[in-house]
Structure 1
Amino acid sequence: MRNLQHYTDDAFEFHKEVLKSKNTTKKDPSYKERIENMDDAIEGQFSAYNDNFVRNTLENIDSYGHTDDEKNDLLKLYSYKNSVIKNLKVKITTTAANRIINTCPNCTISEINSFDHYLPKDEFPEFVVNPQNLFPSCTICNGYKNYIWIEGGKRVFLNLYLDSLPAEQYLFVNLAITGDVITTTFYLQNNGDINNDIFEIIETHYNKLHLLERFSANINEVITSLENTIISFVGKLPLDEIKDSIIEKSNRDRIAFGHNYWKSILEIELANCVEYMNRFVTID
């Protein structure tokens, strides 16, 4: 998990660009006109969003309170397949090295195949195509998040545009090895160096998206890849050098994909596990 580069151009102009891209149909020829009639209200809300976005205080925003008909019209603006929306996804997920990251930033497990609305679109339809409110996501995370975003006046999900993720390790894993079977228990722990407010959001983010359980359910691919790497070097390098190479590579991945990237945390724990590494000693 790592921070994303947020949209920096005029958000309201993006809203208008999405509207422009919509087709006018014979069935509803006045649709665009109805949306344009809400321009003043929407632009005012976008201004409030931006002010709170800069301060990272989105929990202070109140919904405009559109009528049901207005809400339904606004919700029709959003489509993941819309060309303007698709271009936004490419822009957000392209790294400085000009590589597109297509793994959900919320879980770093599944493929991006939707946008999550940080402020839920049913509660805040005016932000349905606000690019600062759209986060690349998988449908699994999107489904778990649903309409929940705040409890007791506090945000319960990380805002990967705004929340500075700690460089300190907070994700850990315990291993249990029985014969050839490896099971894992991932857990969160603040060893005292992480601000309590951000760690509280980290905890609710991981728990509500069921990330710890989802990590454990997806370990086989990581372990298979790791074992293939180890086996390819057995007999060519001493086991200690193989171990050091695994840890070095995994730490490079943590720089690229986040200090608490679950795959790297697992690989390092396995490399440091004497019982696990010793199973490769007898391989010819």
Structure 2
Amino acid sequence: MRTGIIDAYGDYEDVLRDIRQFTSLANDSDALTKVLLGNYSLLDRGRPLEELRNSIFQTALSHNYRCPLCERAQVCALDHFLPKKHFPEYSILADNLIPVCERCNRLKGDECDRSEGLLMFHAYFDEFPNKEILVAEIDIDRTISIRYSLRHSDEIDNFTFRRVEKQFETLGLFDFYQMEAVAELTDQVDLYEETYDSFGDLGLRSTLDALTRGAERKGLNHWKAALYRALSGNAEFCSGGYRKLLPKLMG
């Protein structure tokens, strides 16, 4: 099967473009599936492909070893973008192995929509839309709550937007980013207090604008960028509402 596997490697990018047109080389062959899945253990420490595994993890260095799926946690596992359960011929193909965090690896699992061809975004071959579609809404009552959602842009086609939705829903990113945002606000509350005391609401808004620009360098739809855009545009937060972040600041 060596020739067939090499040919399948050459078809990999075509499979990504429209997975509906392809079936696995091992389709209906349990024996071949077992053999191909067994190749993955060759990447283990002390095995022949250990250096390949190490070099794949090195690709995460440019992102400070942050998971490309959630952009938050540290990478610690290799995700098979096309799951080895469905495409065992790609079990050791470097292009199909993405360094990710434990959480995203677990939630993505064997996700592979072959009926509609709706795949998540590939860290090596896809660019996440550079139009503002991730938004954060700030609600200030007895405390401060944050809710993330997606807003469809006319500049993004429906199929791409559905892929974005799939990624956020599969990985539970709305709730995950909400928790991260609460932690971010709590960590920064002293900065908000000092800035407001010294420069008032305009000074705090200016600081939040600067934080927005810094976060947007990581991507227009990075969760911090959406958070700070919402905060800088919230008049109540900038005029002292931030004090509701921590009960001890009240009064």
TM-score tier by shorter-chain length is: 0.7 to 0.9
Match of 2:230 among 266, 269, 272: 269
CA contact (8 A) 1:114 1:138 kept: yes
Residue 38 of structure 2 corresponds to 73
Residue 164 (structure 2) pairs with residue 164 (structure 1): no
1:112-136 residue CA offsets vs partner (Å, 9 max, x unmatched): 1112111101222221121111112
CA RMSD of aligned residues (A): 2.6
CA separation in 2, counterparts of 1:132 and 1:225?
38
Structure 1 residue 206: Cα displacement: 0.7
Residue 89 of structure 1 corresponds to 57
CA separation in 2, counterparts of 1:80 and 1:234?
53
Residue 8 of structure 1 corresponds to none
CA contact (8 A) 1:250 1:267 kept: yes
> 2:11 is paired with a residue of what secondary structure?
helix
Residue 246 of structure 2 corresponds to none
More helix by share: 2
Amino acid at match of 1:102: Y
Structure 1 residue 84: Cα displacement: 2.5
Residue 116 (structure 2) pairs with residue 153 (structure 1): yes
CA contact (8 A) 2:60 2:66 kept: no
Within 5 A, what are the aligned runs for 1:1-284?
38-52=1-15, 56-65=17-26, 67=31, 68-79=33-44, 82-90=50-58, 92-95=59-62, 100-179=63-142, 181-255=143-217, 257-279=218-240
Q: Count residues with an aligned counterpart.
A: 237
CA separation in 2, counterparts of 1:281 and 1:136?
37
Q: TM-score, normalised by structure 1?
A: 0.74
Q: TM-score, normalised by structure 2?
A: 0.83
Cα 1:198–1:281 shift into 2, 3 Å: closer
CA separation in 1, counterparts of 2:223 and 2:45?
28
> 1:172 is paired with a residue of what secondary structure?
strand
Structure 1 residue 69: Cα displacement: 4.0
1:189-223 residue CA offsets vs partner (Å, 9 max, x unmatched): 11322111111110111111111111112222210
Amino acid at match of 2:9: F
Amino acid at match of 1:61: F
1:90-123 residue CA offsets vs partner (Å, 9 max, x unmatched): 1x2233xxxx422211112322111211110122
Report percent identity of matched pairs: 19
CA separation in 1, counterparts of 2:8 and 2:14?
10
> 1:94 is paired with a residue of what secondary structure?
helix
CA separation in 1, counterparts of 2:242 and 2:117?
51
CA separation in 2, counterparts of 1:186 and 1:52?
32
The gaps in structure 2 that reach 5 residues or longer are 244-248
Cα 1:164–1:59 shift into 2, 3 Å: farther
Q: Which has the higher contact order (CA 8 A, sep 6+)?
A: 1
Structure 1 residue 73: Cα displacement: 2.5
CA contact (8 A) 2:219 2:225 kept: no
CA contact (8 A) 2:195 2:204 kept: yes
Structure 1 residue 183: Cα displacement: 1.5
Higher mean C-alpha displacement, 244-253 vs 127-136: 244-253
1:216-238 residue CA offsets vs partner (Å, 9 max, x unmatched): 12222210233232233344434
Cα 1:167–1:148 shift into 2, 3 Å: same
1:234-267 residue CA offsets vs partner (Å, 9 max, x unmatched): 4443431331232123223212x21101122112
Residue 33 of structure 1 corresponds to none
Cα 1:200–1:228 shift into 2, 3 Å: same
Cα 1:232–1:79 shift into 2, 3 Å: farther
